[in-house]
Amino acid sequence: MKLAFEKSVKGRRGLRIAKSDVPTSINLNKKLLRKVDAELPELSELDVVRHFTELSRRNFGVDTNFYPLGSCTMKYNPKVCERIAAYPGFAHLHPLLPQLRSGGMLTQGALEVVYEMDNILQEICGMDAFTMQPMAGAHGELTGIMMMAAYHQDRGSKKSIILAPDSAHGTNPASAAIAGYAVKTVPSDENGLMSIDAMKEMLNDDVAGLMLTCPNTLGLFNPHVKEICDAVHGVDGLVYYDGANLNAIVGKVRPGDLGFDIVHVNLHKTFATPHGGGGPGAGPVGVVDKLVDYLPISTVIKRADGTFALDYDKPKSIGYIAPFYGNFGIILRAYVYIMMAGKEGLERVAENAVLNANYIKEKLKPYYDIEHGQLCKHECVFSATRQTKNGVHAIDIAKGLIDEGYHPPTMYFPMIVKEALMIEPTECESKETMDAFIDAMIELAKKAESQPETLKAAPVTTSVGRLDETKAARQLNIASLV
């Protein structure tokens, strides 16, 4: 496919504007104006439409194919959520519109959505209050750890250490480090769970808190989680719940009831809003009562007269961590999803997510190694170590899946599993889709034995073949990618 610049024809136009008969004046400093015209492609409207339509056909997403990206919970985003988010009464609002206005309340509906979503997430997660400001899960992590730091500082404590399992998402230690903490890693035990004995040995008065994903990145639920929380509380520490895997237990278990003090929720991973592409996100953070004073400003409150307003009266707040009160369009989509699902629907989400993951795990166990084969929750982690005897690695299996029409699963994570392939089907996928994916994975395992060279060459059906990924990241050459 040619670049738009390569399709350019001198003098071709997609739009012709009549010459203005209105006097104009330019107040800009003339030194700031271009001396020559911008070198833009010259194309007709049809050229442009065809170019970008062809590009769109090369996109890969949940709307086009199965996307078993472990730990990322790539759920289908119902189109009704998109439609309601596009309602003019929501989409055309500006965040600087007044909260109240005589003759009409322009923003009351939006404020009510934020307020109701706050209360809904409190109920789902067992928390006492939420902030809707964070723009992503990692942003939520940082917000939560900042509140943890504010809490300890307010008490005159100089705690300096955050504990995180060796199976944690990489954003956990990053968020803790940005907040000024030293991070110590807790090893996993023989069952793939964070070792409670090792953690207890690391607990002391310098520990500010523990960051824990539950279920963990192996898809395993730690049966000692309440004991873990109690132990951390025993040294006046706080326990942070990484909500990346909440989809596995939503409606079934509330993190607050397990002993967690802070929770972040990836709305796209649990309540089906758009995911990926660097686009809009939301990672609301909930806290227990003793941390409410440290929530970011502002929060939405309900007045005695039934109207809604923004509350800035929080002298101990960590301040703003995002503009206004969060990414409203994403919050709205999640609100619609929850309203459609209801309590029973959210319970079925967790049930089917767990069922689907275990179905794939059992079907593929004869063909790929699995270090921890016990009942999993939402995702299962295989290892391609069996295939390495023929020179085939996890990345080769992943590239082979592309030729089969599937997005690769997460590779080489968690790092405690060699040649890891982390698969998460979510609750959205049908048995027929999963069976076709399983057949593809089995075929790749057979090719690894009989035709390993074919996997080393994959993918061969895409516009771009196997890249030197390190070089591509360091020496990006756009012209070579078409």
pLDDT at 29: 86
| 383 shares a domain with 277 | no
Is the distance from CB of 364 to CB of 446 less than 8 angstroms? no
Is the model's pLDDT at 482 over the cut of 70?
no
On whether both 380 and 317 belong to a single domain, the answer is no
Q: Which of 283, 316, 339 is the last residue of a domain?
A: 339
**What confidence tens digit (pLDDT) does each residue in 150-178 have?**
999 999 999 999 999 999 999 999 999 99
**Same-domain pairing of 89 and 204:** yes
Please tell me whether residues 396 and 271 are part of one structural domain.
Answer: no
pLDDT tens profile 418-474:
999 999 999 999 999 999 999 999 999 999 999 999 999 999 999 888 888 888 788
Could you tell me if residue 13 is inside a domain? no
Residue 340: both structure tokens together:
């459609």
**Is residue 104 scored above 50 in pLDDT?**
no
Provide the pairing of β-strand 410-411 with 299-302: unpaired
Q: Which residue, 109, 107, 115, is CA-closest to 131?
A: 115
Measured at the alpha carbon of residue 184, what is the angle toward residues 384 and 206, in degrees to the nearest 5?
160
Tell me whether residue 36 is in a domain: no
| Residue 194 counted as domain residue | yes
**pLDDT top residue among 101 and 299:** 299
Do 113 and 154 reside in the same domain of the chain? yes
Ordered alpha helix ranges (H), 287-414 = 328-364, 394-403
Parallel, antiparallel or unpaired: strands 161-165 and 182-186: parallel
- The answer, as to whether pTM is greater than 0.75, is yes
Task: Report percent pLDDT > 90 for the chain.
Answer: 79
Which pLDDT belongs to residue 274?
Answer: 86
pLDDT at 91 (0 to 100): 93
Tokens of 175: 């968020």
Instruction: Verify that 321 and 382 share a domain, yes or no.
Output: no
Which tens digits make up the pLDDT trace of 292-337? 999 999 899 999 999 998 899 999 999 999 988 789 999 999 999 9
Q: How wide is the angle at C-alpha 381 spanned by C-alphas 380 and 382, nearest 5°? A: 120
Residue 20 lies in a domain: no
Q: How many domains does the chain have?
A: 2
Q: Predicted confidence band at 194 (pLDDT cuts at 50, 70, 90)? A: very high
248 and 105 in one domain?
A: yes
pLDDT at 277 over 90: no
Same domain, 426 and 382: yes
Q: Which residue has the higher pLDDT, 180 or 476?
A: 180
Could you tell me the two tokens for 351? 């049930």
> Could you identify the residue written with the tokens 């192996």?
218
β-sheet with 262-264: strand ranges across: 129-131, 285-287, 262-264, 238-242, 207-213, 161-165, 182-186
Segment 26-35 shows an average pLDDT of 84
Judge if 273 and 369 occupy the same domain.
Answer: no
Q: Which pLDDT does position 106 carry in this prediction?
A: 82
The answer to whether residues 316 and 294 touch, using CB atoms and an 8 Å cutoff, is yes
- Whole-angstrom distance, CA of residue 283 vs CA of residue 30: 45
What value does the mean pLDDT of the chain take? 93
Neighbours of 371 (CB within 10 A): 15
Tokens read off for 281: 């996100």
The residue from 305, 339, 373 where one domain ends is 339
Q: Is residue 74 one of the residues assigned to a domain?
A: no
Output the pLDDT for position 95.
83
Q: What is the pLDDT of residues 391-403, one digit of tens each?
A: 999 999 999 999 9
Domain check: are 284 and 233 in the same one?
A: yes
CA dihedral defined by 56, 61, 64, 70, rounded to 10 degrees?
A: 160
Instruction: Decide if pLDDT at 477 tops 80.
Output: no
Instruction: Inform me whether the pLDDT recorded for 356 exceeds 80.
Output: yes
Residue 178 located in a structural domain = yes
With cut-offs at 50, 70 and 90, classify the pLDDT of residue 212. very high
pLDDT average, residue stretch 115-121: 97
**Residue predicted with more confidence, 481 or 299:** 299
Q: Is the pLDDT of residue 102 over 70?
A: no
Residue 238: CATH number of its domain? 3.40.640.10
**Helix/strand/coil (H/E/C) assignment for every residue in 33-78:** CCCCCCCCCCCCHHHHHHHHHHHHCCCCCCCCCCCCECCCCCCCCC
Please tell me whether residues 251 and 396 are part of one structural domain.
no
Is 284 a residue whose pLDDT tops 50? yes
126 shares its domain with 266: yes
Q: Is residue 44 part of a domain?
A: no
Going by C-beta distance under 8 Å and a sequence separation of 6 or more, which residues neighbour residue 54?
1
Domain-ending residue, one of 277, 311, 339: 339
Q: What is the DSSP letter of 188?
A: B
Q: 60: closest CA among 275, 271, 266, 269?
A: 275
pLDDT score at 19 = 85
Predicted pLDDT of residue 103: 42
Residue 6 lies in a domain: no
CATH code of the domain covering residue 387: 3.90.1150.10
Convert the pLDDT of each residue in 368-389 to its tens digit: 999 898 999 999 999 999 999 9
Q: What pLDDT, on the 0 to 100 scale, is given for residue 99?
A: 75
Pairwise pLDDT comparison (442 vs 33), residue with the higher score: 442
User: Over 80: is that where the pLDDT of 278 sits?
Assistant: no
| Domain coverage including residue 302 | 80-339
Burial 105-122 (b: 16+ CB within 10 A, else e): ebbbebbbbbbbbbebbb
